[in-house]
Structure 1
Amino acid sequence: MASNTVMVDSSIFEDIQQKIDDDTAFNDELRETVQQLNKQVRSAQAALSQVHAIPRDQLAAHITKTQPLIHAEITTISQLATKASQQPYYKWNHVWTRSVQDACFTILFAHYAASSALLTIEDLGARLSIPVNLKDRDAFHLTIEEYLLALISLIEELARLARNAVTIGDYSRPLEIARFVNNIHAGFQILNLKNDILRRRSDGIKYRLKEVEDVVYDLSLRGLVPKEETKDEEMKT
């Protein structure tokens, strides 16, 4: 009786193994670049943390000194974008998304410390020289979620800055931060967030706002903020 057994061509699995090896090599290459970015982010965060103890009139000079660290992050993100765009974006973005968020936070914080203003997502994309919220092609880009999560990190840092500003005698900064955080909180109220992590973290903005408002309230009780200035800030909000 003739055998009906069908032999499977082993080259099928050899081809699959080659694909696995290629993915592994690409993953290792990506992670090496991300590790470099993480080191640069830590250096930038360490330098920017000094903002909490620096008087306002010395901030501009300090932020200028941090720019090479920010530039190093941007250079590495450019390298990451070149590599990542060789492959499907959403297959690999989990490797770098947290690191990109952290880098975005340092850029947002440095800009706020220097100007008390917020970079838009388009401004941030331009600083990084990468596209924003891509929908027409599969390539490396800055997502809305990454921008918003970095912005939430900024709010958390500013709540800390409001308290520390008081310890170095800068009583006007908490008022500015309160107005800024209040505006950001109002903006988030408009958003209908679908991302679970983003929604959970954005819920914390109201607590950060309360922390800052408590600092302003305490300053007012102690008579450390002129009533006219307080009224001006309340009118702006």
Structure 2
Amino acid sequence: MSVTEMFSYIQGFLSADQDVREDIRKVVQNLEQTAREILTVLQSVHQPSGFKEKGQLCSLAGKHFTASVECTGGEESFEIESEFHEHWRFVLQRLAFLAAFAVYLESENLVTREEVAQILGIEVVREKGFHLDIEDFLAGVLIMASELSRLAVNSVTAGDYSRPLRISNFINELDSGFRLLNLKNDPLRKRYDGLKYDVKKIEEVVYDLSIRGLAKESESGGN
């Protein structure tokens, strides 16, 4: 093979690589727009009357999640190498957070990684290309914890005094779960370190309710 032929051969690989990166860029841009739209919808829950409309908000968010599935074009038509993972890591963390938050609003349960992947129309297996990495899922869950600490404060403002107690129980369980993990990923570890501040913030809300005699869950569960 001559020098010219060798470099022509290499150019073929470079062009193919660039084509894949461009495909990913387009998908990620669409996913980022979808994430912004979902966040706009779910942020309404922090308004005084927002939680009463959580069903409608989650339903509307669900339609946007459906759009995210359309963005990926289905896993079958978007098979890419896992080496490009960094291109979509951030947006999938945000979408994992939004999916986890929506599920919590509906059921007050923790979503699973498999459920998030299903909601987004992607895979959990790295070798299959566009997938939800376990660390990205955990990062999304930790972002949700911060959002719930904010919700605990706003619930009190809205006169819902039982919700912060339930959020506190949920976050404490979440914290206990993360303590079982041996986290070596530096970004994820730093994000997890922030969970203790969310726990403290919610505990302060619950304590304030307690000394004011308001920390009693209603018999109906405050739903």
8 Å Cα contact 1:74-1:128 kept in structure 2: yes
User: TM-score normalised to the size of structure 1?
Assistant: 0.85
SS at match of 2:160: coil
Report the more deviating stretch, 32-41 or 13-22: 13-22
C-alpha distance after superposition, 1:92-147 (max 9, x if no partner): 1111111111111111111111111111112223333433244xx45332211011
Query: Aligned partners of 2:163, 2:70: CA distance in 1, in Å?
Result: 32
Question: What is the count of residue pairs matched by the alignment?
Answer: 218
**1:167 is aligned with what amino acid?**
T
Q: Alignment RMSD, CA only?
A: 2.1
SS at match of 2:110: coil
SS at match of 1:212: helix
Aligned to 2:209: 219
8 Å Cα contact 2:41-2:61 kept in structure 1: yes
Aligned to 1:150: 140
C-alpha distance after superposition, 1:157-202 (max 9, x if no partner): 0011111111111111110110000000000000001111111111
Alignment of 1:194 with 2:184, yes or no, is yes
> How far 1:209 sits from its partner (Å)?
0.4
C-alpha distance after superposition, 1:57-86 (max 9, x if no partner): 322122222221121123324x2744552x
Matches within 5 A, 1:3-82: 8-53=2-47, 54-77=49-72, 79=73, 81-82=75-76
Query: Aligned partners of 1:125, 1:144: CA distance in 2, in Å?
Result: 11
Alignment of 1:168 with 2:158, yes or no, is yes
Displaced runs of 4 or more, over 6 A? none
8 Å Cα contact 2:78-2:129 kept in structure 1: yes
SS at match of 1:223: coil
> How far 1:28 sits from its partner (Å)?
1.3
Q: Gaps (5+ residues) in structure 1? A: 1-6
Matched-pair identity in %: 36
**2:64 is aligned with what amino acid?**
L
SS at match of 1:119: coil
8 Å Cα contact 1:55-1:170 kept in structure 2: no
Q: Gaps (5+ residues) in structure 2? A: none
SS at match of 2:3: coil
> Between Structure 1 and Structure 2, whose CA radius of gyration is higher?
1
